[in-house]
Amino acid sequence: MASIIPNNLYRLRDRGSLCKAFGIKFVPSAAVVQIAQQSGFDALFIDLEHSTLSIHDASQLCTAGLLAGTTPFVRVPYQCGDGFVQRVLDGGAMGVVFPHVSTKDEAVAAAMISKYPPQGKRSMTGQLPQFNMVPHAASTVVGPANDTASTVFVMIETDEGLGNVEEIASVQGVDVLLVGSNDLSIELGVPGDFGNEGFKGALERVSRACRSHKKIMGLAGIYDRPEVQKWAVHTLGVGFMLGQQDAGLITKGARHCVEALREISSEVV
């Protein structure tokens, strides 16, 4: 059996712990991966949906993440095509995040392109980053790649997806149901109101589907709301959470710096 780099999501799930992800949408540098790792993040959420990052950028970030022990996952653009997904996986992603999954058929398609036969239809290539670029016989790659190096995240962020959440959660090969909080709250008519009872009820519905079908529940888009995040982890059983993205952290740090300088300057007589 080929030796594969471990996937922190499953390691932490088995311990009953939260997988904490660092989002990257602006900074295509190995340095930001090192910052994420040193800060204590377990995974990377590399965003190709809402950014101008390229597949090459994603691959370089994934490789840095693999070497740092910070498991890289990549969100692909909506309806990007099977070829795009295969390139992301071949570039080193340990899993793919599929946005706006609203039906069972869309979930099946996501799983199929992410897994090698007989589970799916992903095409085989050699010397994968997830296997440290060491050549292995295809027969030794398929099993471990399907088990731990091709995590399938389907994002529940539409009203239709919420309505079909039980069917989506039942799909073999889907590993994580990831709530896209901003888009889902907009669809529910309560944009950004994450304390709204209707929105919280939607999250509870996703949680029930995940528990019923033994999937991991994920949460993205809710930052600096510890009361909601704590409820999500301890009550809903969320096992994957996007903690923040590079853009948000830079902005928050910059504002804090400017506020401190303003306070200092206002004290100067």
Domain boundaries, the chain: 8-267
Portion of the chain with pLDDT greater than 70, in percent: 99
Q: Inter-axis angle of helices 104-114 and 82-90, to 10 degrees? A: 40
Relative to beta strand 95-98, strand 238-245 is unpaired
Statement: 8-267 belongs to CATH 3.20.20.60: yes
3-state secondary structure (DSSP) of residue 148: helix
Q: What is the spatial distance between Cα 257 and Cα 89, in angstroms, rounded to a whole number?
A: 38
Is the pLDDT assigned to residue 2 strictly greater than 90? Answer: no
- pLDDT for the residue 1: 62
Mean pLDDT, rounded, for 64-81: 97
Is the pLDDT assigned to residue 52 strictly greater than 80? Answer: yes
DSSP state of 172: T
**How far is CA 258 from each of CA 26, 27, 62, rounded to the nearest angstrom?**
21, 22, 33
- pLDDT for the residue 265: 87
3-state secondary structure (DSSP) of residue 96: strand
Catalytic one of 50, 56, 234, 256: 50
Is the pLDDT assigned to residue 268 strictly greater than 60? Answer: no
- pLDDT for the residue 267: 63
Mean pLDDT, rounded, for 256-262: 95
Mean pLDDT, rounded, for 28-40: 96
Instruction: Output the average pLDDT for the chain.
Output: 96
Is the pLDDT assigned to residue 266 strictly greater than 90? Answer: no
Mean pLDDT, rounded, for 165-184: 98
Helix (H) or strand (E) holding 73: strand 71-75
What letter represents residue 5's amino acid?
I
Least confident of 98-112, 139-153, 254-268: 254-268
Q: What is the spatial distance between Cα 73 and Cα 47, in angstroms, rounded to a whole number?
A: 9
SS3 percent helix, strand, coil of the chain, rounded to 5, is 50, 15, 35
Mean pLDDT, rounded, for 216-240: 96
Q: What is the pTM of this model?
A: 0.95
Q: What is the spatial distance between Cα 31 and Cα 245, in angstroms, rounded to a whole number?
A: 15
| Catalytic site includes residue 56 | no
